[in-house]
């Protein structure tokens, strides 16, 4: 059975930076939300935590694509993480969490795990 989740509103469209990322705090920890207006879908969310450096910095990396795969490059040691799967392209064994994300009117919502079943009030 799928673990319980809920769709949290984390920010608004105005908070997003085109072709780049921002960081939000969720119950599941820090998450990086990327807005790539020239792609479909245009929104991606992966963990903000860079497993290689141990610092919360992925939202501050440069986005782009490698062989068609949308990626962000860690600003510290420059590994690339797939924005679709969270996988590290340089090291198969390293993976960061990815989060479903959608636009709900002006709001950006993330699907995060939750303990109790309840809907967000945000």
Q: Tell me the window of 73-81, 82-90, 98-106, 112-120 that interacts with other proteins (CB under 8 A).
A: 73-81
Give 30 or 113: the residue with its C-beta nearer to other proteins: 30
Rg of the chain taking only CA atoms, in angstroms: 14
Q: Is 46 exposed, middle or buried (0-12, 13-18, 19+ CB in 10 A)?
A: buried
Q: CB–CB of 114/5 below 8 Å?
A: yes
Q: How many CB atoms within 10 Å of residue 55?
A: 14
Q: Which is closer to other proteins, CB of 2 or CB of 67?
A: 67
20 binds other proteins (CB under 8 A): yes
The Cα–Cα gap between 116 and 95 comes to 27
Of 19, 27, 90, 91, the one binding other proteins by CB under 8 A: 19
**What is the rounded distance in angstroms from the CA atom of residue 51 to the CA atom of residue 65?**
21
Among 43, 71, 88, 112, binds other proteins (CB under 8 A): 71
Among 4, 27, 41, 65, binds other proteins (CB under 8 A): 65
Q: Which residues make up the interface to other proteins (CB under 8 A)?
A: 10-11, 15, 17-20, 22-25, 30, 36, 38-39, 49, 51, 53-57, 60-68, 70-71, 73, 75-76, 78, 80
């Amino acid at each position: 059975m799928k673990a319980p989740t809920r769709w949290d509103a984390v920010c608004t469209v105005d908070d997003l930076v085109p072709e780049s990322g921002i960081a939000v705090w969720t119950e599941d920890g820090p998450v990086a939300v990327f807005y790539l207006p020239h792609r479909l879908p245009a929104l991606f969310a992966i963990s903000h935590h860079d497993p290689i450096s141990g610092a919360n910095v992925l939202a501050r990396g440069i986005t782009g694509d490698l062989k068609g795969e949308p990626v962000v490059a860690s600003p510290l040691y420059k590994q690339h993480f797939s924005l679709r799967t969270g996988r590290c392209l340089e090291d198969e064994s390293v993976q960061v969490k990815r989060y479903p994300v959608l636009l709900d009117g002006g709001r950006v919502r993330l699907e995060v795990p939750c303990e109790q079943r309840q809907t967000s009030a945000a």
